[in-house]
Amino acid sequence: MNSRRLFLKQTKKQENLFGKTSGRICGKMSEIEESVRRIELSMQCLVQYPESYFEGEERDGFYIEPMMKKAWAAQIEVLLEVQKVCEKNGIQYFAEYGTMLGAVRHKGFIPWDDDLDICMRREDYMKFISVVERDLPKDFVVLNIHTEPTFTDLLTRVVNGKSIQLDEKHLEKYHGCPYVVGIDVFPVDYLPRNTEEADAQLKLLGIVLHTAQLYGLEDAELTELGEMTNQIAQLCGVKWKDKKPMQYQLYCLAERLCAMYGKDDADNMGMPVKILCGKKYIYSKQAYDSAVMMPFETIQIPVPVGYDEILKAKYGEYMIPYIRKKGHAYPFYKEQREILRQYLKANGMSGEGFYITEEERTEEC
């Protein structure tokens, strides 16, 4: 009897020891996996470019100048900082618009594209904007309706500074690009399956955004706008706050209207603001269930698993390349280049490293 008790006691001790050891091993494995993930991320963030990458070249019949190559690389550096924030906070992002198309069709930037766009499901986007300022490098700037009074787009822009930088450390990190560069982050929302609700959502969103835009006009008729905002408050069941700018409150309301439906209420996803503008960018919610990694220049970028459905909705036969007009002047740094030229001239500095010739640098405005 005593020997049986001793055996059971020893067995229990071994079980306890095994349990503790197993727990430590599992814990160590988790730590190792997390360390490997961080190392992989760090290696991606330290991506090296061969010097030949920054030479001008022709792709699909379009010439890409050397500074655009540097701007591309600089934008990728901004993306990798955003990726760190997403990794840290369990946020999934996806390539969006031309960036998604570029990954699928060109394995990088579309040759005539000059910006970088990503998107997030609404729940991830709201988490992102709540942590991004805290977790990004201190010199970065986050622009959205909550951080910048003059910002009027329902998206977030992340940029690597406030002005052109010529210091050596900055130029080294951003591959010789002195200009302010960044990326746009778009929320993708769940769309109500009930068509009447969908129509009502878009109509109300249109009224709210139109009223917000009127508040931005210098000659706005405040009495008339006051009546409009009172009607909006009644329709939406909201109360305006006296101490906050009305335009800001209207944009916040517009954001809430976009986000008012959840996954269980929807079969499809899209961007209500774009749909309101006539873009039929509506996709099955399964298109954003997960991501597939695709090459993008020198890194890998996550693309929605339903990229084929999304790209067909946006671009039709998307694998046939043709040059599309941008919604802004190309290149995006055109105005910054002129500011830099004038600065170099005023300070007697060479523009050689920035592809500004001596003739350009010294010319009169």
- Residue (of 333, 335, 327, 329) closest to 98 by Cα position: 327
Residue 151 near residue 167 (C-beta atoms within 8 A): no
Q: Which residue has the higher pLDDT, 2 or 225?
A: 225
- Residue 2: pLDDT band (50, 70, 90) is very low
Q: How far apart are CA 352 and CA 358, in angstroms?
A: 8
Q: 110: left (phi > 0), else alpha (psi -120 to 50), else beta?
A: beta
pLDDT at 63 over 60: yes
- Ranking 44-53, 107-116, 246-255 by mean pLDDT, the lowest is 44-53
Write down the pTM of the prediction: 0.87
Average pLDDT over residues 326-348: 93
Percentage of the residues of the chain whose pLDDT score is greater than 70? 87
Dihedral sign for Cα 30, 35, 40, 44, please: positive
- Residue (of 245, 269, 311, 254) closest to 110 by Cα position: 311
Judged by DSSP in three states, 345 sits in helix
Q: Which residue has the higher pLDDT, 169 or 6?
A: 169
Judged by DSSP in three states, 231 sits in helix
Average pLDDT over residues 319-334: 88
- The position carrying tokens 């046939």 is 320
pLDDT at 47 over 60: yes
- Residue (of 35, 67, 41) closest to 54 by Cα position: 67
